[in-house]
């Protein structure tokens, strides 16, 4: 592939003109493809602020399919001509919003803000792409990060955005140092770095894994990586320089006790699974195949790694009340684990000897390692009393087998639960060789016959504890809208993902500006469905501000005192608008077709070295004005428009009385006229005599950008501005303007959602769990992206689909779909769901006659608090043999009243079938697990 060289810039003697936006886009796309085809360890990628990069994407029309309007300057002998780009070109690359300490040094030394999220806060670009963007735009700072491989046998690549940060403690003087290393750094390299830092010889030192300030294992100088050594972000390591006569220090913890070495690991299989994204950020812990020899090993990565001696709880202490230490944004994992380790059938199973059921041959499983890691963690939690456990071993297993959960970003507890349940099933599958079974159509056979056949076929390939207690069966009916073909299948399920009916609302505050200068900006708060679109916002806002029939609203997001984006797509989800954003709306006449949009950006006056050319970069203030003007646009038109837009901000009229009394936020001079008296005369300033006089009386300092927004040219009355879509004008606020106008009305825009701007506090809307279940079972058409191939028509059809519950498991898990996803971002619903704690009766929803009771009671909840990115997970769980509830918040465990566990944070609900005498069984309380092998 031939990539264009540096010919993308044209030197005109004074400045370098950029390529057309679509050409920039083409070059970057080719460079990205070239980099993607050459992935290998050590490749450099660069972290770029998403704010800047999204501006560049809009500029180049990336992914939007829009073509640029050809821009050609028209010349006149008597007028200065300035050629403008139709789409704003971003300024220099600006990574300042993601850098914690922007020092003038090597980019690798710059520290990023914690918990940044890829796609939301930053993007990753290859070295080729970065170098090209930097040559075009300059700026920075550069934030290079290395590409590393993840996985032992099948490689997944990820960018190590945050290096592993280790705190080195020198036992000689208790001094502390910070080391930043790649997870792929070997322990031998670690020894070299430490010895060089502390000025000691490598042969005379010992380095200990000092997690939680307690010796866990001596780190040998070898090719083992820090990832394989299971070191965590921000943990301590201990440097010792022992006396040759004091060898007793070796092999003892900080209290002098000998380290406990427990053999729990199975032999490592030569096969692992693939999974996770090709590229990710963050960090993970891993395991090395060369650590395990034979069937079991004495490894430092055992129970002692988790902060206590195995199964040594204080006499009389209650089991099941141990907390899980947060290893760095791992509350999602802790919440899911607490729910599972308090699931009665799992506790009963893993506290017994389950090793005989470990399936190391299943190619779909994790060779038994996930089941063993989970089992050992469960046993520790139930035998440690109230000791907090640090699940480092389990997290390492999870990161190696499921790279999508690696690192220290927040993840989804339900997605983790789904992976764990499926992984545990495959590791415990009693079927060693899965038979091939051809699926059959129902062909009009009785539902009972088809359901039994499907379940029998499923059990022939899937037979484990998880299937015994956690899997149910539902009936799926598809109807072709063309030929009426009916297809019925009976499929297993592990959990039910219930939608939350979209009757919940969201308050959005928008500041409305007048495009004709007839009034002061006013904030309006409207209430909308959370799953609405920008069209809904525009309609509600139009009603709130009494928009005239001849007016329209132009929605925009303001960031850093500039228009960050226009919300012109009516179908754009409201989820793309964040709570902390600043959204404005401009009241404009409908007669804007064929006119050019003019943005007037405010900045403080600064003396320029040149009177003729002034830089466009630097500090900005206030909120931009937006209006439309007829072409051709002259400097006098712009001056008149600025005068008109500033008129409501006048501090006093000639008589000395306040002209902009804050009565309803309108200019008193215009109160007698309706605010929608916005006509073509307002837009065209040709014959506006009063405005002309005003523009003559004032001498605004106005500048217009050149093609690349790097410099500004002053606007004179006879200046002709040639523009195809957008004219960007800078208004310098001199002392004169500050004396005449009150700019405070353009400052301090309210955020989209802030309590102070909410009209009134409303009672949170509530729905019942049954409402969610009924929405899940409701008949609905398939989406256009989920067409069904009809065997009757031999065509893909948008069939209707209906789900019905057929067989319910002993453990029933409900996932409340609080998170919605779109091409823009994720959104969370904080709807309060009223769910039963006792006596959840699902009898009317089960359409089969299986002779079982369908009464359930709640025993655990995974909670999610807060918004996206900065949310927090906890768990509520009831101990097996007592009727008390406990709150598990990472390390902290406390009792909680049953009346307090129902909150709007409930995310995943765990129910257990109430053990009553079954109608067709002779005993009360018989376990479904024991019945599973009898063919029922």
**d(C-alpha 171, C-alpha 624), whole Å:** 59
Higher-scoring residue by pLDDT: 581, 443: 581
**d(C-alpha 242, C-alpha 917), whole Å:** 67
The pTM of the full predicted model, rounded to 2 decimals, is 0.58
Closest C-alpha to 340, from 500, 473, 469, 426: 469
Q: Mean pLDDT throughout 566-570?
A: 86
Least confident of 21-35, 56-70, 683-697, 743-757: 683-697
> What pLDDT does 715 receive?
82
Highest mean pLDDT among 161-170, 800-809, 863-872, 920-929: 800-809
Q: Mean pLDDT throughout 16-25?
A: 78
**d(C-alpha 235, C-alpha 210), whole Å:** 7
Least confident of 388-392, 440-444, 660-664, 694-698: 660-664
Residue 442 has pLDDT above 80, yes or no: no
Q: Spell out the residues 6+ positions from residue 29 whose beta carbon is closer than 8 angstroms to its own.
A: none
Q: Could you tell me where the DSSP H helices lie in 207-269?
A: none
Q: Mean pLDDT throughout 615-641?
A: 84
Contact 516, 498 (CB under 8 A): no
SS (H, E, C) 193-222: HHHHHHCCCHHHCEEEECHHHCCCEEECCC
**d(C-alpha 711, C-alpha 708), whole Å:** 8
* Local structure of residue 428 (DSSP, 8 states): T
Least confident of 133-142, 310-319, 460-469: 310-319
> What pLDDT does 76 receive?
35
Residue 804 has pLDDT above 80, yes or no: yes
- Residue holding tokens 């609080």? 818
164-240 is classed CATH 3.30.360.10: no
Closest C-alpha to 767, from 904, 582, 607: 904
> What pLDDT does 85 receive?
39
Digit-coded pLDDT (tens) for 26-54: 899 899 988 888 888 888 999 999 989 98
> What pLDDT does 267 receive?
32
In the residue annotation, 545 being an active-site residue is answered as: no
Burial of 904 (0-12, 13-18, 19+ CB in 10 A): middle
Share of the chain above pLDDT 70, in %: 72
- Residue holding tokens 């599973």? 932
Q: Mean pLDDT throughout 745-759?
A: 69
Comma-separated ranges of CATH 3.30.2230.10 domains in the chain: 21-62+90-160
Which residues are paired to 486 by β-bridges?
Answer: 479
Least confident of 411-420, 786-795, 906-915: 786-795
Burial of 409 (0-12, 13-18, 19+ CB in 10 A): buried
> What pLDDT does 443 receive?
77
Pairing of strands 726-733, 596-604: parallel
CB atoms within 10 A of CB 400: 24
Q: Average pLDDT over the chain, rounded to whole?
A: 76
> What pLDDT does 345 receive?
95
CA-based torsion, 336, 338, 344, 345: positive or negative? positive
Digit-coded pLDDT (tens) for 337-351: 999 999 999 999 999
**d(C-alpha 182, C-alpha 197), whole Å:** 17
Q: Mean pLDDT throughout 397-415?
A: 80
Residue 750 has pLDDT above 90, yes or no: no
Burial 206-238 (b: 16+ CB within 10 A, else e): bbbbbbeebbbbbbebeebbbbbbbbbbebbbb
Least confident of 157-166, 222-231, 658-667, 868-877: 658-667
Q: Spell out the residues 6+ positions from residue 154 whose beta carbon is closer than 8 angstroms to its own.
A: 272, 273, 274
In the residue annotation, 653 being an active-site residue is answered as: no
Digit-coded pLDDT (tens) for 293-332: 233 322 333 334 444 444 444 444 667 899 999 988 889 9
Active-site choice (150, 283, 331, 772): 331
Residue 79: pLDDT band (50, 70, 90) is: very low
Contact 75, 83 (CB under 8 A): no
Beta-strand ranges (E) seen in 614-683 are: 614-615, 621-629, 633-634
Contact 35, 127 (CB under 8 A): yes
Residue 6: pLDDT band (50, 70, 90) is: very low
Comma-separated ranges of CATH 3.10.20.90 domains in the chain: 164-240, 505-606+618-650+699-747
- The three-state secondary structure class of 930 is helix
- Residue holding tokens 């927004």? 709
Burial 644-666 (b: 16+ CB within 10 A, else e): bbbbbbeeeeeeeeebbeeeebb
Digit-coded pLDDT (tens) for 245-273: 544 444 344 333 333 322 333 333 333 22
As given in the structure block, the two tokens for residue 23 are 């050409």
> What pLDDT does 687 receive?
38
Higher-scoring residue by pLDDT: 67, 778: 778
Give Cα separations from 349 to 310, 344, 356, 469, 895 (angstroms): 19, 9, 12, 11, 26
Burial 617-633 (b: 16+ CB within 10 A, else e): eeebebbbbbbbbbeeb
> What pLDDT does 826 receive?
59
Distance of CA 501 to the CA centre of its chain: 23
As given in the structure block, the two tokens for residue 331 are 């509350």
Burial of 406 (0-12, 13-18, 19+ CB in 10 A): buried
Higher-scoring residue by pLDDT: 175, 613: 175
Residue 502: pLDDT band (50, 70, 90) is: low
Least confident of 270-284, 627-641, 714-728, 796-810: 270-284
Digit-coded pLDDT (tens) for 763-780: 455 789 999 999 899 888
Residue 928 has pLDDT above 60, yes or no: no
Contact 82, 722 (CB under 8 A): yes
**d(C-alpha 146, C-alpha 159), whole Å:** 6
Closest C-alpha to 636, from 588, 712, 691, 682: 691
505-606+618-650+699-747 is classed CATH 3.90.79.10: no
As given in the structure block, the two tokens for residue 361 are 């041959």
Contact 711, 15 (CB under 8 A): yes
21-62+90-160 is classed CATH 3.10.450.50: no
Residue 107 has pLDDT above 50, yes or no: no
């Amino acid at each position: 592939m031939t990539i264009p060289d540096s010919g993308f810039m044209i030197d005109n003697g004074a400045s370098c003109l950029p390529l057309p936006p679509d050409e920039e886009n083409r070059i970057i796309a080719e460079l990205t493809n070239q980099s993607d085809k050459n992935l290998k360890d050590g490749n450099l990628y660069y972290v770029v602020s998403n704010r800047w990069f999204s501006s560049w994407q809009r500029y180049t029309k990336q992914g939007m399919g829009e073509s640029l309007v050809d821009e050609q300057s028209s010349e006149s002998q008597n007028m200065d001509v300035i050629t403008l780009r139709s789409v704003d070109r971003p300024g220099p690359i600006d990574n300042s919003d993601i850098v914690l300490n922007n020092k003038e040094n090597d980019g690798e030394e710059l520290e990023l803000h914690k918990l940044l999220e890829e796609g939301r806060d930053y993007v990753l670009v290859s070295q080729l792409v970065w170098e090209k963007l930097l040559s075009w735009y300059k700026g920075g700072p550069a934030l290079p990060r290395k590409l590393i491989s993840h996985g032992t046998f099948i490689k997944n690549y990820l960018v190590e955005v945050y290096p592993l940060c280790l705190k080195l403690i020198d036992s000689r003087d208790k001094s502390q140092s910070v080391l930043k290393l790649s997870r792929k750094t070997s322990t031998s390299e670690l020894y070299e770095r430490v010895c060089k830092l502390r000025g000691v010889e490598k042969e005379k030192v010992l380095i200990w894994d000092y997690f939680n300030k307690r010796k866990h294992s001596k780190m040998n100088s070898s090719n083992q990586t820090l990832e394989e050594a299971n070191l965590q972000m921000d943990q301590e390591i201990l440097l010792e320089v022992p006396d040759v006569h004091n060898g007793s220090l070796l092999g003892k913890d900080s209290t002098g006790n000998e380290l406990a070495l427990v053999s729990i690991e199975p032999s490592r299989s030569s096969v692992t699974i693939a999974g996770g994204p090709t590229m990710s950020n963050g960090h993970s812990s891993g395991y090395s195949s060369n650590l395990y020899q034979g069937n079991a090993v004495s490894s430092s990565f055992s129970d002692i790694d988790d902060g206590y001696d195995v199964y040594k709880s204080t006499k009389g202490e209650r089991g099941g009340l141990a907390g899980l230490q947060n290893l760095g944004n791992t509350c999602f994992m802790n919440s899911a684990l607490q729910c599972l380790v308090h699931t009665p059938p799992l506790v009963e199973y893993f506290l017994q000897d389950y090793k005989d059921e470990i399936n190391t041959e299943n190619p779909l499983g994790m060779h038994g390692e996930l089941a063993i890691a989970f089992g050992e963690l469960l046993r520790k939690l139930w035998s440690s009393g109230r000791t907090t456990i640090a699940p480092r071993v389990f997290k390492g297993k999870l990161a190696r087998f499921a790279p999508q959960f690696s690192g220290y970003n927040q993840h989804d507890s339900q997605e983790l639960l789904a992976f764990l349940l499926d992984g545990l099933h495959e590791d415990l599958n009693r079927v060693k060789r899965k038979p091939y079974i051809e699926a059959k159509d129902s062909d009009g056979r009785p539902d009972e016959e088809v359901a039994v056949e499907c379940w029998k076929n499923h059990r022939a390939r899937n037979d484990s504890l998880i299937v015994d207690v956690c899997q149910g069966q539902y009936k799926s009916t598809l109807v072709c809208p063309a030929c009426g073909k009916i297809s019925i299948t009976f499929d297993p399920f592990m959990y039910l993902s219930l939608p939350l009916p979209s009757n919940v609302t969201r308050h959005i505050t928008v500041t409305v500006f007048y495009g004709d200068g007839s009034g002061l900006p006013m904030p309006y708060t409207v209430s909308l469905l959370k799953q609405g679109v920008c069209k809904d916002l525009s309609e509600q806002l139009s009603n709130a501000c009494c928009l005239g029939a001849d007016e329209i609203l132009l929605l925009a997001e303001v960031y850093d005192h500039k228009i960050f984006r226009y919300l012109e797509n009516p179908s754009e989800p409201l989820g793309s608008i964040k709570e902390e954003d600043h959204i404005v709306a401009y009241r404009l006449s409908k007669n804007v077709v064929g006119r050019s949009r003019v943005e007037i950006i405010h900045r403080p006056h600064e003396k320029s070295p040149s009177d003729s050319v002034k830089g466009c970069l630097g500090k900005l203030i206030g909120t931009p004005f937006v209006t439309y003007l007829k072409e051709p646009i002259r400097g006098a038109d712009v001056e008149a428009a600025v005068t008109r837009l500033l008129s409501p901000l006048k501090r006093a009229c000639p008589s000395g009385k306040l002209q902009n009394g804050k009565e309803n936020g309108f200019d008193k001079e215009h109160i007698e006229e309706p605010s929608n008296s916005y006509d073509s005369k307002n837009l065209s300033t040709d014959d506006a005599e009063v405005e002309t006089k005003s523009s003559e009386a004032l001498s605004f300092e106005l500048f217009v950008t050149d093609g690349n927004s790097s410099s500004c040219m002053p606007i004179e009355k006879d200046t002709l501005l040639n523009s195809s879509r957008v004219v960007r004008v800078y208004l310098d606020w001199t002392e004169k303007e500050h004396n005449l106008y009150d700019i405070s009305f353009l400052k301090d825009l309210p955020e989209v959602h802030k309590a102070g701007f909410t009209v009134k506090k409303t009672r949170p809307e509530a729905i019942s769990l049954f409402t969610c279940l009924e929405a899940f079972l409701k008949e609905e058409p398939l989406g256009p992206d989920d067409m069904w191939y009809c065997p009757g028509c031999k065509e893909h059809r948008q069939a209707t689909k209906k789900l019905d519950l057929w067989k319910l498991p002993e453990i029933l898990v409900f996932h409340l779909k609080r998170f919605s996803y779109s091409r823009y971002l994720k959104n969370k619903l904080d709807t309060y769901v009223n769910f039963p704690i006792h006596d959840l009766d699902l009898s009317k929803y089960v359409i089969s006659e299986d002779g079982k009771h369908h009464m359930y009671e709640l025993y655990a909840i995974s909670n999610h608090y807060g918004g996206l990115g900065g949310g927090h997970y906890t768990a509520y769980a009831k101990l097996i043999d007592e009727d008390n509830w406990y709150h598990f918040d990472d390390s902290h465990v406390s009792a909680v009243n049953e009346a307090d566990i129902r909150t709007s944070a409930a995310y995943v609900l765990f129910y257990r079938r109430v053990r009553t005498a079954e109608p067709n069984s002779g005993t009360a309380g018989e376990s479904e697990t024991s019945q599973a092998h009898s063919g029922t």
